[in-house]
Amino acid sequence: MEDLEISNFRRAAEIGSQRLQSGRKEAVIMPNAIKVATTKDLPPGKAMAVSVGNKSIALFNIGGQYYAIDDECTHAGGSLSEGEVAGGVVTCPWHGATFDVKTGEVLSPPASDKVSSYEVWVEGEDIKIVL
């Protein structure tokens, strides 16, 4: 099913970002937005790992806002989706480096390199990541 979702959104990406008119309603197609979860899957204060192609991404719900960063800590590969989350900061479960879940910036060692962050798009109950 995930391959079908990716295929559908790749097709949308080929069309590009464009507006579709349907009566008085207007929708925007976000190129490369891939559904990875639903809002029911991820309550506030929680995190989960999702896979998109060969990428593992940590998805966070911080007070109803969703954020996505690479799941793999840049220090030694700890899974950030398994870390403690408080105030928009995730602590790597392996050696305690902290990262800003909004930007992926390192806030404290031993990690020294940031992780990539991704735009998150919520459409109805669908959580999508823009790659």
**Shortest separation between residue 59's beta carbon and ligand FES, angstroms:** 18
SS3 30: coil
**Shortest separation between residue 114's beta carbon and ligand FES, angstroms:** 13
Task: Tell whether the torsion through CA atoms of 36, 59, 78 and 118 is positive or negative.
Answer: positive
Residues that bind ligand FES (CB under 6 A): 73, 75-78, 92, 94-97, 110-111
The CA distances from residue 24 to 16, 20, 27, in Å, are 21, 10, 10
Nearer to ligand FES, 99 or 118 (CB): 99
**Shortest separation between residue 24's beta carbon and ligand FES, angstroms:** 50
Nearer to ligand FES, 69 or 111 (CB): 111
Residue count of the chain, please give it: 131
